[in-house]
A and B are shown apart, each in its own frame.
Chain A
Amino acid sequence: QSVVIQAPSLSGTPGQRVTVSCSGSSSNIGSNVVSWYQHLPGTAPKLLIFLNNQRPSGVPDRFSGSKSGTSASLAISGLQSEDEADYYCAVWDDSLNGLLFGGGTKLTVL
């Protein structure tokens, strides 16, 4: 069982703003930077956010990240049908000395 917790599912309608959340602890989110990934089945996961809130080149500014204490969030504004995917947060854990993924959130665009 992952020690970084994400809600398993989330839904929204086109144009809506949704937020995917990750809850961790002092040894991971509380002390290290968070990255976010978008994963469509059968494809390679795609880096959406690094350093808590930075977007790689080519990622639309509809995607934004934030972190506070031991929690992190990915916000998607102006929701589009192509945003339907699984979203994962990832963070280094100092106690485990390894990389942790959240359990993943399946976003459905209604």
Chain B
Amino acid sequence: EDKVVQSPLSLVVHEGDTVTLNCSYEVTNFRSLLWYKQEKKAPTFLFMLTSSGIEKKSGRLSSILDKKELFSILNITATQTGDSAVYLCAVGVRTDKLIFGTGTRLQVFP
């Protein structure tokens, strides 16, 4: 059975801290790994990763994939209160199917 596991389940930090969120997976047909940020409603797309070792960056967020060890990390540097959200990792196993992890709930306090 395809599985995506995220850790930690929740994280509480202060503004300015750096955090690392983890996503490991076991799937039969890996196509891509995606990160989403979900605040109150819709998950918003952050990154899609398909190749090992290539870091994707967007401002203070960055992510990298290791297809040999079957995991990805999402780093957020200099966290702000606006980063508070649930971060979802999803693995694409076919062009029209994503397997979601349970998410990491991040709370950033001033």
Q: Specify whether A and B are partners.
A: no
Point out residues on A near B: beta carbons under 8 Å. none
